[in-house]
Amino acid sequence: MALRVRDDSLPRERMTAIPATAPPRARRLSATPGQIALALAIAAFLLAFLVLPVATVLYVAFTEKGTGTFTLVNFYDFVRTELFMRSLWNSFYVSAMSVAWASVLALPLAYLTTRFAFRGAAIVQTLGFLPLIMPPFVGAVAMQLFFGRNGSINLLLDDWFGFKIGFMEGLNGVIFVQSVHYFPFILINLSAALRNIDRAMEEAAQNLGCSGFRLFRRIVFPLALPGYLAGASLVFVKVFDDLATPLLLNVKDMLAPQAYLRVTSIGIADPMGYVISVVLIVASVIAMWLSAAALKGRDYATTQRGGGGLAKRRMTRMEAVLGYGVVVLILALVLAPHLGLLLLSFATVWSFSPLPDGFTPAHYARVFGESSLYIKNTLIYATLAGGIDIVLGVAIAYLVLRTKLVGREWLDWAASAALAIPGVVLGIGYLRSFYGVTLPDGTPLAALWVTIVLALAIRRLPYALRACYAALQQVSVSLEEAAENLGATKARTVRRIVVPLMAGGILAGFVTSFSTAAVELSATLMLVQSNSDAPLAYGLYVFMQSAAGRGPGAALGVVAVLLVALCTFISHAIIERSQKTKGLGH
Amino acid sequence: MVTRRIAIGAAVGLGLLAVPAWAQAPAGKVTVVTSFSKDVTDPIKKAFEKAVPGVTLEVQNRNTNAGVKYLEETKANNQVDLFWASAPDAFEVLKGKQLLTQYKTKATGIPDKIGSYPINDPQGYYFGFAASGYGIMWNERYAKANKLPEPKDWQDLAKPAFFDHVSIASPARSGTTHLTVETILQGEGWDKGWRTIKEMAGNFNAITERSFGVPEAVNSGQVGVGIVIDFFAFSAQASGFPVKFVYPTVTTVVPANVGIVANAPNKAAAEAFVEFLLSPTGQEVLLEPGIRRLPINPAVYAKAGADYPNPFTDPRFQKMIGFDVDKSEARTAAVDTLFDQLVSFQLDALKGVTKVLHEVDAALAKKPNPQAKALADEARNLIAAMPVSEAQASSAEIKGAFTGGKQKGARQAELESQWASFARDNYAKAKAKAEEAQKAAK
């Protein structure tokens, strides 16, 4: 273990996140055998549960009709078809606009709760996180009942003022719903990043006379950039690849819905659905690569970890009124769908009226018996999936950022590509790859609930990965080097230094993966083999196919939201406490 | 394992002793893949398990397309006993892929046909167990607030009053809507049928991607009128929603079906389930408020209320058209794709022209103008024009384009691209004519 002196390890260099002027940093020239083994193990996992199953479905995109030989003619068809090109453009436009609006919603919440002594910060963080958990189908119904063309708001507006607002019409509707739905990605990653900033940086800037907005613009925000970009790139890619929201708003000329519509209907034998899937995957990987490239050559790590985040200051009375006002306003907007869901779960009949005709607890009684099974399954699946995701996320982030292994970025890109793969493609791929494999007693491998867990883990891996990646970017290498110089092994360094320092980011990743896995449906629907193995989302789906099932479905949806909210709140409480034990408090 | 073996042994033993007619008494778990909601499957499961003790019904819920795909992907190691869904064409697909097995039912009292549709598959691969008709449902509160007249027939939905108030599921996504579209095409003829469909489509507010999306939107009052299968409306009424339903003159009743999957792991229990569904006890369950489907055993209607539609006696149903299954089968993919390319993906353009044409009509009603009338008619003809004739739609060439990798020939994407640009050009020309007509009418 040679002692190395590195000239770029001075804090001065890092403070403002300027491009590193020093020559490329010599981290590790070669990897240890343990790192190589780890990389190979992850590669094997991704190959077995992501690349190969998906390849069994997507290879059709590259084959010629009739002969099955390799061809690119299908991509030529894609470019030539007006509908697909229009869809591609619409998808880009909607994704970019959603990132912008999601930032508008997330920035105040993240900044106010991490930077000020803000009463109820954990509650705000939890509530601000809820929109991400919109149970399938029933969430859509609730949103329509509130914001739809004849939703509560428009009925009241029409009644009082004689006009309506098309919240949920066309592409703008998609942008509105998507920014409300996905802004928590930015919120949670940005908050984790803000908490990780060394207070010394801020204090140094203040000593030099910097304050107010300039301090935020020049010091705080640039230092939190990895977290913001992690969230923003997730929002972009997720919106780009999301099919549920456009379909719920009956917007079909976007790319992901086009792929879905083709893969699941008459186009099932046609390569175009798979061609679009390939385009989606490529676009997502490019977006991820761009966001990584934007951070390249800059260093976001800070050495001192004692401060435990930005100084929390008290707000003046005016600031407090303004701050709470903004927070309440944003929360009211983004939680309106959940309020709608709650009303729906107690409603008798709710049709073309601002509020339901009457209220009843009967729907909860109806789902009470079965929901305990669904809850148990959901908790097991989502916890396992979240667990797998953070282990893989930390490992991949470590390999990419801390080693010089050849092709390490491919692990990152492969894992991120999972975001772009339609759930139904993954589901079919799993059936194709694992249904033929049988256990000794004859049951197919794909029939085991473990398969659902693996599918969920693969689908939600990008969320955890981005969070872990951003967290590690903020940890200075010199802390690890110090540990190693003191004689710690690499494994011990990771365990005792790296992981604890990344804790906030890891928890953020776990919560995101866990809660979104808890409401996943598209792959699950293909893989659920029996009611006793079914998670909540499946139970919801089963209810939401009939008029009488709407109330019970909503009740189940409320149960799902509460469940995830509780878990989220607990993890926020843990983060807060760990912040306090780090010596901050106030 | 041991207990299972004992259970099977016991069941076989009992079967030999007690019910000599069956080689093996039904016992154990029987798995059904279905598109039906919990409100339908729960009561039937309960009644079935009561009628055939010792058997548990395991329900796997998947939408029809996903269910077909699932059976196809898992056939090498099949674990499913039954397939149970509405759309007869899904069963035709399964039968064609040899994923169903033949069976001869012992049920009595079930006629051969309902309307003019054969209830069971002639070769015995699947069986109708309930009938459904297609029609129009609407939300009364919405209709009152927007002053909509009561629709009676498909053509009514093309009237100006219904502009932006109608919803339908894409036939490519919903087997039942596909049958509705096919019924209109068969009842009115290819060209006139498409004209009706496109004139209605000009008034569409939305084309949803799943069947239940339409009744859902009508129930909650987001859309006023929906083109749906009857039980969606009946079960919504039973749940208290302010909705109404009507069967138009050109419509048909079609059976919802059940079939035994090839290589079913528990064939005896699967057969028992089919027998139960067709038995009077099973048929009576269909009358429950949450289900509300039309039994195919005429005797069962004696237990239904007086206002329950009865396709065997109600004269409306006797007038309904004969439905040619083979004709429908030959052009399924073409019809669905035509609808998507000419209507779903060009909806904005189509609505744009329709709006102008409605305004022209209003102007003409006040002040007749033959020149404007002629221009408007030209525009209507441009909208109604089809890129392919009826014969071409079921030709081997077009059919081949939709079969995927098997034959060489035209690619699906090529055809779609042609049809889409045909529609786009025509709607643009129609818009120009309609605007001319508008100027002339002023």
What is the average pLDDT across A483-493?
88
The nearest alpha carbon in chain A to B231 belongs to A546
> Per-residue pLDDT for chain B (442 aa), expressed as one digit of tens each?
444 444 444 444 444 444 434 445 788 999 999 988 888 899 999 999 999 999 999 999 887 877 888 898 888 888 899 999 988 878 988 998 899 999 999 988 899 888 778 899 999 999 999 998 889 999 999 999 999 999 999 999 999 999 999 999 998 888 788 888 998 999 899 999 999 999 999 999 989 988 888 999 999 999 999 999 998 999 899 889 999 999 998 888 888 999 999 999 999 999 999 999 999 999 999 998 888 899 999 999 998 888 888 888 887 777 676 778 788 888 888 999 999 999 999 999 999 999 999 999 999 999 999 999 999 999 999 999 999 999 999 888 888 888 755 566 678 888 899 999 999 999 999 999 999 999 998 7
Q: Classify burial at A381, counting beta carbons within 10 Å of its beta carbon; exposed 0-12, middle 13-18, buried 19 or more.
A: buried
- The answer to whether B74 faces chain A, any CB pair under 8 Å, is yes
Specify the higher pLDDT residue, A402 or A268: A402
Say whether B73 and A548 touch across the interface (CB within 8 A): no
Beta strands B243-246 and B126-139, pairing class: antiparallel
Q: Say if residue A25's pLDDT is above 50.
A: no
Among B4, B38, B332, pick the best mutation site for testing chain A contact (most A Cβ within 10 A).
Answer: B38
Q: Report the alpha-carbon distance of residue A310 to residue B385 in Å, rounded.
A: 68
Q: Which of A68, A149, A545 is nearest residue B222 as measured by Cβ atoms?
A: A149
Which residue from A457, A443, A458, A502 is spatially nearest to A476, judged by alpha carbons?
A502
pLDDT of residue A104: 94
Beta strands B28-34 and B82-85, pairing class: parallel
Residues in A touching B351 (Cβ below 8 Å): none
CA of B235 to nearest chain A CA: how many angstroms apart? 7
- The answer to whether B122 faces chain A, any CB pair under 8 Å, is no
Among A254, A351, A526, pick the best mutation site for testing chain B contact (most B Cβ within 10 A).
Answer: A351
Distance (Å) of CA A491 to CA A33, A465, A483, A487, A507: 12, 20, 11, 12, 21
Residues 73-92 of chain A with CB under 8 A from chain B are 73-74, 77-78, 80-83
Q: Report the alpha-carbon distance of residue A436 to residue A455 in Å, rounded.
A: 17
Residue with tokens 């598959």: B121
Distance (Å) of CA B272 to CA A395, B23, B43, B82, B286: 54, 12, 17, 11, 18
Beta strands B28-34 and B55-61, pairing class: parallel
Query: Are the C-beta atoms of A209 and A487 separated by less than 8 Å?
Result: no
pLDDT of residue A11: 40
Residues in chain B: 442
Q: Facing residues of A444 across strands?
A: A438
Specify the higher pLDDT residue, B17 or A186: A186
Q: Say if residue A268's pLDDT is above 60.
A: no
Say whether B141 and A264 touch across the interface (CB within 8 A): no
Q: Classify burial at B373, counting beta carbons within 10 Å of its beta carbon; exposed 0-12, middle 13-18, buried 19 or more.
A: middle
Q: Report the alpha-carbon distance of residue B289 to residue B108 in Å, rounded.
A: 25
| Percent above pLDDT 90 for chain A | 26
Q: Report the alpha-carbon distance of residue B228 to residue A130 in Å, rounded.
A: 35
pLDDT of residue B260: 96
Mean pLDDT lowest for which of A33-42, A101-110, A564-573, B145-154? Answer: A564-573
pLDDT of residue A63: 85
CA of A126 to nearest chain B CA: how many angstroms apart? 30
- The answer to whether A409 faces chain B, any CB pair under 8 Å, is no
Residues in A touching B404 (Cβ below 8 Å): 65, 268-271
Which run of H or of E encompasses B61? strand B55-61
Task: Judge whether B2-131+254-318 and B133-252+326-441 match in fold.
Answer: yes
Residues in A touching B76 (Cβ below 8 Å): 435-436
Q: Which of A66, A257, A435 is nearest residue B409 as measured by Cβ atoms?
A: A66
Longest dimension (CA), chain A: 77
Among B1, B146, B204, B216, pick the best mutation site for testing chain A contact (most A Cβ within 10 A).
Answer: B216
Residue with tokens 């009358």: B287
Kindly report whether the global pTM for this prediction surpasses the value 0.95: no
- The answer to whether B241 faces chain A, any CB pair under 8 Å, is yes
- The answer to whether B344 faces chain A, any CB pair under 8 Å, is yes
**Backbone phi and psi for residue B84, each to the nearest 5 degrees, phi listed first:** -145, 110
pLDDT of residue B16: 42
Give the pair of three-digit tokens for residue A30. Answer: 């070669």
Q: Facing residues of B127 across strands?
A: B120, B258
Q: Report the alpha-carbon distance of residue B64 to residue B86 in Å, rounded.
A: 8
CA of A236 to nearest chain B CA: how many angstroms apart? 24
Residues 435-474 of chain A with CB under 8 A from chain B are 435-436, 438, 441-444, 446-447
Say whether A352 and B212 touch across the interface (CB within 8 A): no
Say whether A530 and B31 touch across the interface (CB within 8 A): yes
3-state SS class at B52 = coil
The nearest alpha carbon in chain A to B58 belongs to A530
pLDDT of residue A310: 64
Domain definitions of chain B by residue range: 2-131+254-318, 133-252+326-441
Residue with tokens 């030209």: B378
What is the average pLDDT across A445-471?
90
Q: Report the alpha-carbon distance of residue B415 to residue B411 in Å, rounded.
A: 7
- The answer to whether B208 faces chain A, any CB pair under 8 Å, is yes
pLDDT of residue A26: 43
pLDDT of residue A457: 95
Q: Domain B133-252+326-441 has what CATH class? A: alpha beta
Residues 343-372 of chain A with CB under 8 A from chain B are 348-353
Say whether B209 and A247 touch across the interface (CB within 8 A): yes
Q: Report the alpha-carbon distance of residue A196 to residue A192 in Å, rounded.
A: 6
Say whether A264 and B79 touch across the interface (CB within 8 A): no
Residues 549-578 of chain A with CB under 8 A from chain B are 549-550
- The answer to whether A29 faces chain B, any CB pair under 8 Å, is no
**C-alpha dihedral sign at B52, B56, B61, B66:** negative
Q: Report the alpha-carbon distance of residue A526 to residue A424 in Å, rounded.
A: 7
CB atoms within 10 A of CB B137: 27
What CATH homologous superfamily does B2-131+254-318 map to? Periplasmic binding protein-like II (3.40.190.10)
What rounded mean pLDDT belongs to chain A? 83
- The answer to whether A542 faces chain B, any CB pair under 8 Å, is yes
**Highest mean pLDDT, choosing among A136-140, A521-525, B209-213, B214-218:** B214-218
Query: Are the C-beta atoms of A147 and A153 separated by less than 8 Å?
Result: yes
Distance from the Cα of residue A495 to its chain's centroid: 25
Say whether A351 and B402 touch across the interface (CB within 8 A): no
Domain definitions of chain A by residue range: 30-581
Give the pair of three-digit tokens for residue B189. Answer: 């003829």
Residues 377-416 of chain B with CB under 8 A from chain A are 402-409, 411-414, 416
Residue A447 Rama label (left phi>0; alpha psi -120 to 50; beta): alpha
Specify the higher pLDDT residue, A307 or A573: A573
The nearest alpha carbon in chain A to B80 belongs to A529
The nearest alpha carbon in chain B to A434 belongs to B74
Query: Are the C-beta atoms of B128 and B255 separated by less than 8 Å?
Result: yes
What secondary structure does DSSP assign to A348-384, as a single string?
S---SSSS-S-B-SHHHHHHHHHHHHHHHHHHHHHHH
**C-alpha dihedral sign at A223, A185, A508, A423:** negative
Which residue from A290, A286, A284 is spatially nearest to A459, judged by alpha carbons?
A284
CA of B41 to nearest chain A CA: how many angstroms apart? 10
CA of B332 to nearest chain A CA: how many angstroms apart? 9
Say whether A265 and B336 touch across the interface (CB within 8 A): yes
Among B36, B37, B424, pick the best mutation site for testing chain A contact (most A Cβ within 10 A).
Answer: B37
Q: Say if residue A474's pLDDT is above 60.
A: yes
Model ipTM over 0.90? no
pLDDT of residue A303: 64
Residue with tokens 């929109």: A131
Q: Say if residue A12's pLDDT is above 50.
A: no
Q: Report the alpha-carbon distance of residue B131 to residue B129 in Å, rounded.
A: 7
Q: Classify burial at A328, counting beta carbons within 10 Å of its beta carbon; exposed 0-12, middle 13-18, buried 19 or more.
A: exposed
Q: Which residues contact A122 (CB under 8 A, 6 or more apart)?
A: A569, A572, A573, A576
Q: Classify burial at B318, counting beta carbons within 10 Å of its beta carbon; exposed 0-12, middle 13-18, buried 19 or more.
A: exposed
Instruction: Tally C-beta pairs within 8 A across A and B.
Output: 197
- If pLDDT is split at 50, 70 and 90, which confidence band does A269 have? low
Mean pLDDT lowest for which of A199-208, A443-452, B2-11, B20-29? Answer: B2-11
What CATH homologous superfamily does A30-581 map to? MetI-like (1.10.3720.10)
Q: Report the alpha-carbon distance of residue B312 to residue B316 in Å, rounded.
A: 10
* Start-to-end Cα distance in chain B: 84
Which residue from A238, A489, A530 is spatially nearest to A373, judged by alpha carbons?
A530
Q: Which of A144, A442, A541 is nearest residue B222 as measured by Cβ atoms?
A: A144
Q: Say if residue A263's pLDDT is above 60.
A: yes
Q: Which of B39, B58, B65 is nearest residue A546 as measured by Cβ atoms?
A: B39
- The answer to whether B234 faces chain A, any CB pair under 8 Å, is no
Say whether A268 and B139 touch across the interface (CB within 8 A): no
* Start-to-end Cα distance in chain A: 41
Say whether A545 and B333 touch across the interface (CB within 8 A): no
Q: Say if residue A29's pLDDT is above 50.
A: no
CB atoms within 10 A of CB A274: 24
Angle between helices B332-342 and B175-188 (to 10 degrees): 90
What secondary structure does DSSP assign to B93-156, as a single string?
HHHHTT-EE-------S--SEETTEESB-TTSSEEEEEEEEEEEEEEHHHHHHTTPPPP-SGGG
